[in-house]
Amino acid sequence: MTRPRNHGDTATPVVSATAPGPSRRVLAPLYAAGFTTAFGAHSIAAGLGAESGGIGLGLLTFGILLALYDVAEVILKPLFGSLSDKVGAKPVIVAGLAAFALASLLGTLGTTPLILGLARLGQGAAASAFSPASSAAVARLAGPAAAGSYFGKYGSWKGLGYVLGPLLGAALIWIGGFPALFLAMVIISATAAVWTWVAMPHVPVLPRRRYTVADLARQSTERSFLIPTLALAAATGALGAAVGFLPLMGASMQLPLAGSMAVVAILALSSTLTQPLVGKLRDQGRMSPRAGMSVGLALVAVGIVALALAPLPATLYAAAVLIGCGIGITTPLGFAHLAATTPPERMGRTMGAADLGREIGDAGGPLIVGAIATAISLAAGLGALAILVAVAAVCCAVLLRPRS
């Protein structure tokens, strides 16, 4: 798909398709925003699971508290993504981070299900604002030529949040309970808000033509949007399933708790280390989005199949590396392709819609595995997920067009 030219870009500080990317100082607060949402979501989710008995949470209440964050994101991300196109990414990011700090402050007041639920819902709504706006800002500031490198770094920092969230969250809960964890979230998100306000340049709002319902339907079904979003959803679905079922499989293999949890850390670390390298290869023209996303999803599928066919400790750790590397290959290439094929005046809406696809995958992956595992077996559930990921890989290889 040929990216439409927008002559308004020439008078802005946003880099062009051929200019070098922005300085590290400019992008650093956006990386901090990505870290914030990943760290907050996973640290609190892991803490709720570990402490559910101590704070009197039943299974239904526990499930509702976990779901509130994702429900808010599914509903609100496209809306806030479009809002960032209308008012600018910077105010949406700053306001979202500030709201995240306020919601986290509510969580310091107690550990009743009502307080935890309101805090979790507020955090999810706030993350719905600054997450797609941050992705859109990275795309606008980096430009299509450097989108791979910068989305690789952005994804790497989010991956670091996934790694450190459960570990530091457990330490903070041990020190001071949930109030200590929520207080840390207040400090992190407030710092990121101030940092973004001070360091991030203004990304100007570009004029947009009025879209009809037919235009929106056509844009949402274009290959340049649909296929990368499908790839991102498949990768995130595999991540969601792996985070839940890898430790479960480790426990069934009689691994110690630390050994079971280390599998998730290995997966996240593999993704974190892979993403910047893949992004740089994409920008250098040494890895195409079509080939890269196909290979990345194929690696994920192979890792899942290995778990289904040979549930052994060695296979568990090897699969974590394969799945993590596959996710690390797919994610920056998917976002970079979206950034390179989306007109800048509707970048926020596209990133919000793509994030919606990821959230659906994040919820759908564990549900598919869990439902089929309950009806048949865990191996069958993993096999079904592997087939879906493999289908997404084939779609990337066959249907994704090179960027023109």
Crossing angle for the helix pair 147-199 and 113-142, to the nearest 10 degrees? 110
Chain-centroid distance, C-alpha 353? 13
pLDDT of residue 204: 82
pLDDT of residue 390: 97
Q: Round to whole Å and give the CA distance between 222 and 211.
A: 15
pLDDT of residue 7: 37
How buried is 129 (Cβ within 10 angstroms: 0-12 exposed, 13-18 middle, 19+ buried)? buried
pLDDT of residue 403: 57
Would you say 320 and 303 are in contact if contact means Cβ atoms under 8 Å apart?
Answer: yes
DSSP string, 176-222: HHHHHHHHHHHHHHHHHHHHHHHHSPP-PPPP-PPPPHHHHHHHHH-
Residues whose CB is less than 8 angstroms from the CB of residue 246 and which lie 6 or more positions away in sequence, other chains included: 260, 263, 264, 267, 307, 316, 319, 320
H/E run at residue 293: helix 289-309
Query: Of 193, 51, 62, whose CA–CA distance to 120 is shortest?
Result: 62
pLDDT of residue 214: 62
Q: Which domains are present in the chain?
A: 23-202 (1.20.1250.20), 213-404 (1.20.1250.20)
Residues whose CB is less than 8 angstroms from the CB of residue 242 and which lie 6 or more positions away in sequence, other chains included: 264, 267, 320, 323
pLDDT of residue 10: 35
pLDDT of residue 63: 60
How buried is 115 (Cβ within 10 angstroms: 0-12 exposed, 13-18 middle, 19+ buried)? middle
pLDDT of residue 205: 81
pLDDT of residue 358: 87
Q: Which residues of the chain have pLDDT under 70?
A: 1-21, 23, 45-63, 66-67, 208-220, 257, 261, 402-404
This prediction has a pTM of 0.82
85-107 in b/e form (b: 16+ CB < 10 A) is: beebbbbbbbbbbbbbbebbbbb
CA dihedral angle for residue 211, residue 216, residue 219, residue 222, rounded to 10 degrees: -150
Task: Tell me the backbone φ, ψ of residue 188, rounded to 5 degrees.
Answer: -65, -50
CB neighbours (10 Å) of residue 235? 29
